[in-house]
Chains A and B, each alone.
Chain A
Amino acid sequence: MRKTLLICRRELAALFGGPLAYGLAAVFVLLTGYFFYSDLVFFVLFGGASLPAGLWRFVFLDYRLVALLVLPLLSMRLLAEERKLGTLELLWTYPVRDREVLAGKFLAALVVYLVLLAMTASGPIVLYALHPFAPGPVIAGYVGLVLLGTAFLACGTAASAITENQVVAAMLTYGVLVFCWFVSWNEAAVGEAVAPLLLQLSLFDHFYGFAQGVIDSRDVVYLAAFTTLFLFLAARALGTRAWRGVV
């Protein structure tokens, strides 16, 4: 645990020591701020009486897209950069386990993401001060965003563990995540038998409940399983040095 925290701290220092984290934070905050404002205006003009159905649903579905845009760019450097610099090889000669390295890296990205999410809370807080509302659906939406973002970051960590090229890592993450989103779009193409299964596997379908203020244990389990699977794949990717060497 101590080494996980040490790696996490070093990674955070590296992230905030360069422009990437600030650039991503700026994009994240600007886009989420814009979506919050435009969704609020839409709700005031056409939204009706229900905040969860008329406002929060749209806000969280839009935030989901911002997370999809930004998080692969946050996770792309985690291991790819270390591989490129050769510091990953050095870590392998220190008394530290692969899983501690992975956990430290993943935790650092998660901390940055949580900071980004915390910054988006200013919109709902201001709205609550002006017009108090039931906080449950908002909390459910944020729980969903945390779980979804964790899954995105796990996928990005696995992609970053495969290659030393950050752009390749980011593209691979976009590829997997967008496929997991689109997989259930065209039910006609896959047939009636497969469509329900794909719907169950679709990453984004498991977020709708949260966006509407519902925390469904099936969605939680799915997103946790998705995260676990990709962290496992990341560990396997680090283990490939046994047969492909240090590349």
Chain B
Amino acid sequence: MIAAEQLTKRFGGRTAVDHVSFAVERGEVVGFLGPNGAGKTTTIRLLAGVFPPSAGRALVDGLDVVTSPLAARRRLGYAPERPALHREMTVAGFLEFAAGMKDVAGRRARREAVGKALDRIGLREVADERIGALSKGYHQRVGLAQALIGDPPVLLLDEPTGGLDPAHSLETRRLIRALGEEHAVLVSSHALAEVEGLCDRVVILHRGRVLAADRPAELAARLRQTSRIDVEAAAPGDALVAALAAVPGVRHVDLLAPANGHARCRVEAEPGEDVRARLAADVAGRGWGLLALAPLEASLEEAFLALIGPAEEP
């Protein structure tokens, strides 16, 4: 549905997007993740046909956005990061204008398309309000509504929850999730938590290049440099640390603050080593009560920071 093939965009001597390739299928929500300035918006603009790539191809529903621009654009809905709205128009008037521009033929069909978008985004009660009189949250939603007009199979949403309060942000994520069942949705974000819960797959972009692309959980697991396990036992703290440090495959042990009078340690294993069974056997073998043995999952955020380097947090 959406395909970037070796997409490259240069502005003067600066390369904003560098041989980026990925695909989004129908029924899939793909998160486009990266720090500010990574090239997310430029890539989305290339896919939306705002400007042509310097090299490579952008395909929407199999149509090249450069050689078949109008046909490709009929199949996509785009919501820019900053809601682009005519503030003097009413919400319904603006959406009807968008319907006309998107070739929704016939007045009745346009009205229906507008009604559907209003209901879907929850804008019915402000349909006749001037956009300029509405709050920032509503602006974001009107921007999303115009992207849905004409029911395009491809949705390109650039930071769709930026500027929304937590309740509206959650609501919007639910909506995007629902849209993902029948559309191909590409959502850009620099909010890691948002992408982790929302997307089927994540493409991580940094300095115009794709650093990684996978399911959020797998990406986090794959990029986990070491596996860490928290161990809680009815044992003296120092003795527990010494015992666990001697277990084969353990790289390092830290003593944590005790919980309920029990010693707690964080064990860092060598990469690729699963030391859980050995840890359990060692603790039990010494006659200590093993109260907890909990592997720590690396979050997408940790994976992301590991990829781009700690100095370049988003």
Contacts and interface: CB of A to CB of B under 8 A. Distances in A.
Contact of B70 (A85, A95, A245): A95
A148 to B, nearest CB: 30
A246 B70 contact: no
Interface residues of B, number: 33
Nearest to A2: B100
Interface in A11-39: 13-14, 17-18
A86 interface: yes
B139 to A, nearest CB: 11
A131 interface: no
B102 interface: yes
A85 B74 contact: no
A243 interface: yes
A10 interface: yes
A87 B280 CA distance: 62
Interface stretch (B47-55, B112-120, B168-176): B47-55
Contact of A85 (B71, B86, B103): B86
A90 B78 CA distance: 8
A218 interface: no
Nearest to A244: B11
Interface string B89-114: 10000000110111100000000000
A93 B11 contact: no
Contacts of B73: 93-95
B116 to A, nearest CB: 18
A243 B84 contact: no
Given A17-B88, A86-B82, A241-B50, A3 B100 contact: yes
Contact of B86 (A10, A97, A244, A245): A10
B21 interface: no
Given A87-B85, A89-B80, A6 B50 contact: no
B227 interface: no
A92 B88 contact: no
A91 interface: yes
A92 B52 contact: no
A93 to B, nearest CB: 4
Contacts of B15: none
Interface string B2-19: 000000000110001000
Contacts of A244: 11
Contacts, number: 77
Contact of B50 (A13, A18, A85, A89): A89
Given A241-B51, A244-B11, A245-B11, A93 B76 contact: yes
B98 A87 contact: no
Nearest to A86: B84
Looking at B12, B74, B86, B97, which has the most chain A CB atoms within 10 Å of its CB? B86
B50 A246 contact: yes
B42 interface: yes
A246 B78 contact: no
Nearest to A90: B84
A14 B86 CA distance: 8
Contact of A95 (B16, B51, B102): B102
Contacts of A65: none
Given A93-B78, A241-B50, A18 B88 contact: yes
Contacts of B161: none
B51 A246 contact: yes
Contact of B101 (A3, A14, A242): A3
A80 to B, nearest CB: 14
B98 A94 contact: yes
Looking at A10, A93, A97, A244, which has the most chain B CB atoms within 10 Å of its CB? A93
Nearest to A247: B11
B11 A90 contact: no
B45 interface: yes
B84 A85 contact: yes
A93 B100 contact: no
Nearest to A245: B11
Contacts of A2: 100
A95 B68 CA distance: 10
Interface in B225-255: none
Contacts of A85: 84-87
Contacts of A95: 69-71, 73-74, 101-103
Contacts of B70: 95-97
Interface string A97-111: 100000000000000
B83 to A, nearest CB: 8
B49 A92 contact: yes
A95 B102 CA distance: 6
Contact of A6 (B11, B97, B146): B97
Given A95-B103, A241-B51, 4 more contacts: A6-B101, A86-B83, A94-B102, A244-B11
Interface of A: 2-3, 6-7, 10, 13-14, 17-18, 85-87, 89-97, 241-246
9 contacts: A3-B100, A14-B89, A18-B88, A85-B87, A87-B86, A89-B45, A89-B84, A93-B49, A95-B101
